[in-house]
Each structure stands twice: as C-alpha cells, then as structure tokens.
Amino acid sequence: MNQLLPDLVKTDFDQLVALGRALLPRLAPSWTDHNLHDPGIMLIELLAWTADAQIYSLARMRHDEREAYAALLGLVPRGPAGATGLVWPNPPGAAPWGAGAILSAHAAVTAGQPLPVFRLTHSIECTAARLVSVTTQLHDGTTAERTLINGRSGAGFLPFGVRASTGDRLILDFSGALHAPDAGATSDACLAFGVRVPAGVGRSAGAGPVADGPPAAAARQRFDAWLVDSVVRYPLTVVDDSTDGFQRTGAILLDTGAVPETLGTSYTIIFECRDGGFPGAPRISAILPNVLPIEQIEDKTLSFPSGLSGAPDLTLPLNAPGLMFSTQAPAPTVTFTTPQGDEPWSLADDLSECGPNDKVFAFDATNSSLRFGNGINGRLPPPWLPLTIHYSVSSGATGNAPPGLTWSVPDIAGIYGKNLDPTAGGVDAVGSSELQRLARQRCREAHAVVTSADAIDAALGVANLDVVRAEALGPGANPTPPADLQVVRTLVVLRDRHGAAESAGVVPESPAWLGEIQRQLLPRILLGERLRVIAPVYTPLAVVAMIEARRDYDPAPLASAATALLAARFRIVTNASGAPVWPLSRAVDTRDIQARLRALPGVARVRSCALYGANRSPWAQPSPLPAHWLPQLLIDQCEIVVVRSTTEYPS
C-alpha cells in the first residue's frame, strides 16, 4: 500500500530538496534550468530548510513549552507522592500497649520486610478500651445489630442504613478506660478509627495523582461525632477523615480534648449523619479503634553552619532525590540563625515581583535548587550566618507494598499489627517528558459534555451513587431558571430504591446526593454553560378500585394481580430487565387505569376507580404539570376490592 504520510523521522534537508526538484517536471514543465544557482531552486532550498527546522522542533520541544501546553490541560509538574496505608492492630487479647499509649506524630513505623521509611500521619492515642457492640440506629428509632458482622469479610453492612439520611446513627459501645495514664501531657493525640470498605464497593483509594493541579476543595463533612457518658454528651472534633465520609477504606481521627480524664469505663461513641446526609449510603465491612494511618514520607534537614557568601542571585542545589513538591505538599523551608534568633524566609513564586527588603527565596523544582534575591528583587541572603533547610522526600511508587506485612512502632514492644490492604498512592515524580505523555492521553480520553445524551450518560456513569435514571429537560422546560444565566442544562436524576416501596413525603434524592452528582459532572461542562441537577417533583398517589371477577374465574389472585399491574404501570425507576418507566410530566388518567384493570384475565368489569393522595387525602394533580413531575405510587395505601360477578358475561 502506498504510504501517503511522509516519514518525518528520517526526512532531512537533502531529501526535501530532492523531493521538490523531482516535482518540477510535472508541476512546471517549462522550467528546464534546474541548476543550484537558479532563484527558483534557491527558493525550494529555503522552503526545505524551513520545513526541516519545523520537523526538528516537533520532537524537540523545550521544557517550558511542554509545561505551558500541559498547563492548558490542567497538568503541572510535581514531585513524588508517598504511599499511604493503615496498620490494623492485633486482636485485643494480644494488644501490646497495655493500659494505653501515646504515639507521636511522624514517628517511624517499621515493616517486617525492607521498605522505604514510613511514618505516622498524626499523633495517635492507643486506647485500652474494648469495643463491645456496634449498632445502627435510624432517625425513626429502628435499630440493627452489627456486632457479629463487624470485622468479617464479605459484603459488609450499611452503617447508616439504606438512605443514610439526617439523624441516622452508627453507635459504638465501649468498655474500659479511654485515655492512657499519661494522655494528659499530649493534648494533640487523636483516637483513630479504621474503616474498611469491601472490595469493589465505594470509591477507590486511588493510585495517587497523575499530575499536580489546583488544590481540591475540601470535602464537606457529612457526619458529627459524639461521646456519651451516662447522660453527658461530649463533642468529638473530626481532625482528619481519609474515608471521605465512610466511602473508602481509611481512618477517622477524633480529637478527645473535650472529654475529661475522669471519664467512666462504660461509654458510647456516636457517628451521626448531618443535615442532608451522605451522597450515597456507605457500605463498610469493619470499623475498629487503634488503627494507625501511615505514609511513606521522610523529613530531611540540610544545615550550613558557616552560612552562605551572600552573593546576588545565589543558587543553592539541594541534591535531594525524591524531593516532594506540589500544591498539596510543602516546599522546602529556609531558616537563618541570627543573633536575635531564628529568622524564617518565605517562598516566592517569582523573585522579579519582590522588593529589596523581602526575605524570600525561589524554588526551582526542575533542577531541585533554591535561588535567593539580588538585593533589588528579593533581599540578599545574610552572609555567613548559619542556615537550615527542611524538606521532605519520598520513594514514590517504591512505597506501594503488598498486604499482610507486620509492623512495629516505637515505645510498643513486639508486633503492633498488619496492613490488611496494600499501601497505595505512591507515584513517582512527573517531569516535562511525563507531562507530554499525560497531556496526549488526556486529549484522547477526556470527553466534554456537549449534548444532552452526553449529560445523561455522564450522570448514569457516576460511580457508587445508585443513579438509575437520568433525563435532560428541554430549553423551555427548565424549572425556575436563574435570571442571570442564559445557558442552563438541567438534568433530572432518580436514585435506586433497592426494592423499597415509595413513602409519602420521602424523596430518596437528597440534596447531598444531588450535589455530589453535580460536583462530579461540572468539570466536564462546556465553558459558558451551567448545570443543574434536580430531583423530580413527586405527588403521592393511591388507587382505590372495585373490580368484578367473572363467575367462572377464581377471584382470589385478582387483587394481587391488579396491585402488580399498578406497580408496573407507575414504575418510575427501571429494573434489571429494563422495564418501561412512567415518563416525566405525563398526566394520570383514571380512564387509563380502568381500561388496564379491565384487561386483566378474569375481570368482568371495573365497578369503581378513584385516585387519592397520601392517607386518603384528595388527589391533586398539578396543573400545569411541571416538566419534572412524577406520580409516586404508594402501593401500601392502594386498595383493590374483588367481588364475584352475578351476571354471565360473554367471553
């Protein structure tokens, strides 16, 4: 086959000139003088030289050019990211910390096999208290015992129930002393609860960021924590939640500073859903205390006791393999020791914007070096004063370790526990060459939401939120459009009922659930367009009917058959077989219901059929119907009365 595309890898100046001269007889037959001094040949050589330079530059882009192009796609360089994991303690009977222990923040933890340096993420208080029971209590008072299933492998359990709505609770009962004997001396120590999510459920812990970008907005806290001792309730501040609201395997760290040291030996810790609840009902397999969150990060210190020369534009190479830097990881810190004490200097993004008295330095991530000012743009470094530089390093992907390793910690003898899951999230640094690859990959794979079909597919594709139905409203059907917006795309989404019947006044699509869908879709919306994700407007519906069964037909199964027909007719979320659903904004017609009941086998006629709202209130169908309206059939309030006909009807 003829290859139409030129081979740019091997094409050079001579080949381009030869190609141009070879085309002359066909393109310009009257041009017969092809000597090198002909002005036309010189023009061909000039074009060949320009093309050769352009071909060369295609594969030899400067580092700053690569970074600029990658930034257009939201990718910027970053240093390595450290792996993270959890160390789950040995069974309580083998706990080696006795009456309790305090573990310092960033204390080194040691694995049972050679690995890079890991450390604790926070100061942790190991409590001697024993977890006695685990209970789910819903807002309506319904309770479910979770003690036996907690910590066992399998599908897990729903700690806040199917809806995970406001007021639902996860209750942990404890027995024994909460605080270690010396806990009062360390006020920043936290209680650590490990949460484990079954495999394939919840959001992945992730493999770390592929490249750096703007700091992500902090996730909204979806729950409050309390400690209840008899009748006194003490608030527990959530210091850190790597579970993202019980959605992934991680640790929840609680500050017990408000709890007195004289606490009794029997108490309860409660996790309660805040207003709005969770975006999706969490499912976990275990929640246990004394789980240690660890990270593969090592702090380094570089000292210059004799200081620096104080020369202008002084550059100081760090020579630090694995140096961490990103929008989330701190850059190196610089401190000079003066006769008046320590003098910290600040990091500047651009020295050219700094004044002569600004105590700043610049960090060159590409060359792993620091640069000080020249006395005009940034202050000169003080000459020959001791200098200390603090920075963090990580081994990146090398820190991703398999599960099942044993771990030990300082001040606690023996083996503390094991990591039940792999340590994950460690990735190597992303430089300009890697940015080029990631930018090309993002160009190929990233897909913006352009059409309504794109928006529907994107909503149905949101993971772990049980989106089973999504429809886009037309431009003229947008309910209460914002007055200051011109282009608003509105999505109506419905949540999986998981087999539960509809209840009057209960909207499964909570504001938190809708907000999470919108948050995940917004980055894919076109510039200048706005997205609104809303729930349907429901009107409760109950059908009360009396039907006559044919004289030759058993009337017993007719009531259940009629109820099943109503449930199928007014289905608003599809099932596994893809059954049809009630369209948005379709009116309910009593005659349609009567006709369908009459078509059931064995029905002679329908004596009466009436529509009601919840609790036999009058049926009030909105007029006009909103574009996102749906009837909400209350199957438990429907009543089908079957009587045997006394008249012989023809078949």
What span, in angstroms and rounded, lies between the C-alpha atoms of 164 and 158? 8
pLDDT at 446: 76
What span, in angstroms and rounded, lies between the C-alpha atoms of 539 and 594? 20
Tell me the percentage of the chain whose pLDDT exceeds 70: 89
pLDDT at 33: 75
pLDDT at 477: 54
Q: What token pair was written down for 503?
A: 């209840």
pLDDT at 111: 93
| DSSP secondary structure letter of residue 78 | B
The average pLDDT across 218-224 equals 76
What span, in angstroms and rounded, lies between the C-alpha atoms of 570 and 581? 7
What's the fold here for domain 128-203+220-289?
A: Jelly Rolls (2.60.120)
What span, in angstroms and rounded, lies between the C-alpha atoms of 107 and 623? 67
- The reported pTM is 0.74
The average pLDDT across 439-446 equals 82
The average pLDDT across 221-233 equals 89
Nearest to 330 by CA among 396, 394, 273, 236: 394
Q: In what order do the strands lie in the sheet with 298-304?
A: 298-304, 387-393, 333-338, 341-347, 360-364, 369-372, 315-317
| Confidence check: pLDDT of 193 > 50 | yes
What span, in angstroms and rounded, lies between the C-alpha atoms of 6 and 54? 14
Among 85-99, 207-221, 630-644, name the one with the lowest average pLDDT.
207-221
Residue 549 contacts residue 645 (beta carbons within 8 Å): yes
Place of tokens 């917004």: 522
Alpha helices in 59-158 (DSSP H): 63-72
The average pLDDT across 299-327 equals 87
Tens digit of pLDDT for each residue in 368-410? 889 999 999 999 999 999 999 999 999 999 999 999 999 999 8
Tens digit of pLDDT for each residue in 153-174? 777 899 998 878 889 999 999 9
| Confidence check: pLDDT of 482 > 70 | no
Give the E-state strand segments of 329-368 in sequence order.
333-338, 341-347, 360-364
pLDDT band at 583 (very low <50, low <70, confident <90, very high): very high
What span, in angstroms and rounded, lies between the C-alpha atoms of 609 and 562? 12
What's the fold here for domain 448-534?
A: GMP Synthetase; Chain A, domain 3 (3.30.300)
Where are the chain's structural domains? 1-60, 61-77+430-446, 80-121+291-297+395-428, 128-203+220-289, 298-393, 448-534, 537-644
3-state secondary structure 153-217: CCCCECCCCCCCCCCCEEEEEEECCCCCCCHHHCCCCEEEEEEECCCCCCCCCCCCCCCECCCCC
